[in-house]
Amino acid sequence: SENYNAMWTDLGLDLEAHDMLLNVLGQAYQDIYLAQENRPEGMGYFDFVMSEVHGLRIKELMDEKAIGRKIIGSYCVFVPEEIVLAANATLVGLCSGADFATEDVERLLPRNTCALIKSSFGFKVGKVCPYLESADMIVGENTCDGKKKSYETLGGMVDNLYVMDLPQVKSENGKALLKAEYQRFKAAVEDLTGVAVTAGSLKTAIQTVNAKRAALHRLFTLRRADPAPISGLDALLANQVFFYDNPERFTDSVNKICDELEKRIESKQGVFAEKTPRILVSGCPQAVPNWKLPMIVETAGAVIVGEESCVGERGTRNLTDESGETVEEMIDAIVDRYFMVDCAIFTPNPDRLAHIEQMVADYRADGVIHYGLQFCQPYLMESIPVETALEEKQIPCLRIETDYSMEDVGQLKTRVEAFVEQL
């Protein structure tokens, strides 16, 4: 890490606090990831990415900035990467999955704010996130009340916050709002980079992002096999790195893993034994380094075979139509694509339930664990009708409400074990 100290200092990080974070992260990675057995060799790439997540990748971003490219940070899968890439910028995810500087955060936000929002603030207040500090533009969005209102406070803490309005209803008006907001965003990004989006650059960007998603689709499909060729922990990591990595390199790396998994499936080689109970996780996003639930599930005798989550299939399942010829046509295709994201901030939100049921069938899941972050109104509210609907179809469902702390791990483990037992 010595090599990067100058870069981190230039970014304004608090080196001491940052070292502490990296130590905790490194230890967690060791205990949770490297302790797994029968991992695909291709995961070595992701081990490397994680060991360099604040190092080499940041250095790459700084090199991009040095030649005039801009970095844009986002907290939500509604921020269209296609537009960002087409205007000569790089998109990185800023959602955070670990508690940091909680006491300071609770002076800025009510205690009953979800862990994801608190964590994002903690990383800012604690000066420990090089992605946040390297971003030339930070995009907030009007989704849940927690995020929407917290951006008002964040706006006073950073000088480059852009807030995107988002619809809450899947109506014609809702779609028109999304389109107007994507056009406004396109203009803002073009203004930031000084590069106009062209039909050519937008087409290439659509293809680049679709290729990333398609590689994940391939990975998802392979997870249908029994025995499961890859753990839920490792698959989650790929879904998490999706938000940070260089797009082309990410696509290649995931495809390489898929080549390996195909061979594993052929020879019936799995990470866990055949007939291990299969779990679908559904609910709130699990941002790096939030590996708590899969760690609990996969040390409780089950395997996770899918994530109905924004860090998972909800975020990546739809592709953008690539056939448009003009910028206008392609923006329409982008709007169509993102308008299908069934986040719980939408009301009503029947597509999400349909997707959960579809995933249960596709991945041959024996049960669903609904993952809700404490104080997350949209997902916790929705978890009750989801559970009811699943149980009507004889699909066992366990609703979990938790945060990022490790205090309830023992208790959760007991509940998950009891759930797995009855599958």
**Nearer to ligand BJ8 among residue 208 and residue 339 (C-beta):** 339
Shortest distance, position 150 Cβ to ligand BJ8, whole Å = 8
For position 77 contacting ligand BJ8 by CB under 6 A, the verdict is yes
Query: Do residues 249 and 214 lie in contact, with contact meaning Cβ atoms separated by under 8 Å?
Result: no
310, 327, 335, 368: residue in contact with ligand BJ8 (rule CB under 6 A): 310
Query: Do residues 230 and 263 lie in contact, with contact meaning Cβ atoms separated by under 8 Å?
Result: no
Shortest distance, position 334 Cβ to ligand BJ8, whole Å = 15
Closest by CA to 284, choosing from 193, 382, 168, 149, is 382
**Nearer to ligand BJ8 among residue 111 and residue 275 (C-beta):** 111
For position 61 contacting ligand BJ8 by CB under 6 A, the verdict is no
- Calculate the CA 271 to chain-centre distance: 23
**Amino acid at residue number 201:** S
Task: Sort residue 317 into left (φ over 0), alpha (ψ -120 to 50) or beta.
Answer: alpha
**Segment 147 to 166, residues that bind ligand BJ8, using CB under 6 A:** 147
Shortest distance, position 188 Cβ to ligand BJ8, whole Å = 19
11, 84, 89, 117: residue in contact with ligand BJ8 (rule CB under 6 A): 117
DSSP labels for 77-96?
A: TTS-HHHHHHTTEEEEE---
**Nearer to ligand BJ8 among residue 78 and residue 220 (C-beta):** 78
**Nearer to ligand BJ8 among residue 34 and residue 157 (C-beta):** 157
Shortest distance, position 82 Cβ to ligand BJ8, whole Å = 16
For position 400 contacting ligand BJ8 by CB under 6 A, the verdict is no
Q: Which stretch binds ligand BJ8 (CB under 6 A): 131-139, 229-237, 375-383, 406-414?
A: 375-383
Token match 């299939």: residue? 313
122, 130, 140, 146: residue in contact with ligand BJ8 (rule CB under 6 A): 146
Shortest distance, position 144 Cβ to ligand BJ8, whole Å = 3
Closest by CA to 123, choosing from 12, 27, 3, is 12
Shortest distance, position 341 Cβ to ligand BJ8, whole Å = 6
β-bridge mates for residue 280, sequence order: 306, 368
**Nearer to ligand BJ8 among residue 196 and residue 384 (C-beta):** 384
For position 291 contacting ligand BJ8 by CB under 6 A, the verdict is no
Please count the residues of this chain forming the interface with ligand BJ8, following the rule CB under 6 A: 20
For position 330 contacting ligand BJ8 by CB under 6 A, the verdict is no
Distances from the Cα of 238 to the Cαs of 144, 255, 270, 320, 407, in angstroms? 26, 11, 18, 21, 27
For position 243 contacting ligand BJ8 by CB under 6 A, the verdict is no
User: What are the φ and ψ backbone dihedral angles of 324, each rounded to 5 degrees?
Assistant: -60, 150
User: What are the φ and ψ backbone dihedral angles of 250, each rounded to 5 degrees?
Assistant: -60, -50
Q: Is the peptide bond before 227 cis (omega within 30 degrees of 0)?
A: yes
**Nearer to ligand BJ8 among residue 33 and residue 371 (C-beta):** 371
For position 397 contacting ligand BJ8 by CB under 6 A, the verdict is no
Distance CA 212, CA 219 (A): 11
DSSP H or E run through 367: strand 367-373
**Residues at the interface with ligand BJ8 (CB under 6 A):** 76-78, 114, 116-117, 143-144, 146-147, 284-285, 310, 341, 343, 345, 373, 376, 378-379
